[in-house]
Amino acid sequence: MWVLFKKELNSFLTSLIGYITIVVFLVINGLFLWVINGDFNVFASSLATLDGLFVIAPWVFLFLISAITMKMFAEEKKNGTIELLLTKPISDISIITAKFLAGVVLVVLSVLPTMLYMICVYKLGAPQGNLDVGGILGSYIGLLFLGAVFVAIGIFSSSLTNNQIVAFIVSIFLCAILYIGFDFLSYVPFLSHFDLLIKSLGINYHYTSISRGVIDSRDVIYFLSAIGFFILLTKVSLESRNWKK
């Protein structure tokens, strides 16, 4: 598994894909936080906060993670190398996990440089250091969990087809539904009595909860369950090749 993990990670880091992903993530967030005059601009808000980063970043990840995961299985299917990969002396779960971990590492590498934003905001505080560090660190943990779920969804989407564009679109759709779809569903009039339950099925509910700086075991279990669920779906998707024969 670790050999495949290194291979997948190297495919990101030895090509432009990984670096473009990191740069695009940093540039988009940096523009909204420091350049574009709007609600997310640190200077315009006059507050020592990084709330804008944790609002923008999930939406940037929604597209970027879908873009980097769309080829993970779709390309293997298109090139006809999927059968060779799946006949190696390694389980389907190990193959999926290796690709998943490689995607998560890329997410971590994208997020790490934004710690510089926290240092800048820390310095800009009046008085210096007037910053909700606990809340920010909680938001970072939530962002990493969110990114990991998006990677799992992206890999599942890629396992459904040999067309990378289709995998990209399906991944965006599923990530968006899981991120904010349940929030919108909770506002449907005849479901109003179950609004809290419906919201709790979505990522945003648990992401917001962790962002308060308190790591609740229910939120952690939710994220791990969502990751495990989509990894299991990917395994079922890959196994379906045998049913079609």
> Is 215 among the domain residues?
yes
> Is 12 among the domain residues?
yes
pLDDT(245) > 60 = no
Q: What's the pLDDT tens digit per position in 65-98?
A: 999 999 999 988 888 778 777 777 788 899 999 9
CA atoms of 65 and 115, how far apart (whole Å): 20
CA 106-108-110 angle, 5° bins? 70
Q: Are 121 and 50 in contact (CB under 8 A)?
A: yes
Residue 242: its pLDDT value, please?
52
> Is 166 among the domain residues?
yes
Q: What's the pLDDT tens digit per position in 9-28?
A: 888 888 888 888 899 999 99
Closest CA to 101 of 182, 7, 187, 223: 7
> Mean pLDDT over all residues of the chain?
88
> Is 52 among the domain residues?
yes
Residue 143, CB half-sphere, CA atoms under 13 Å: how many? 27
> Is 57 among the domain residues?
yes
Q: How many domains does the chain have?
A: 1
- Global pTM? 0.92
> Is 245 among the domain residues?
no
CA atoms of 38 and 50, how far apart (whole Å): 14
Q: What's the pLDDT tens digit per position in 124-178?
A: 776 776 777 888 889 999 999 999 999 999 999 999 999 999 999 999 999 999 9
CA 114-49-180 angle, 5° bins? 75
**In which domain, by residue range, is 6 found?**
2-240
> Is 157 among the domain residues?
yes
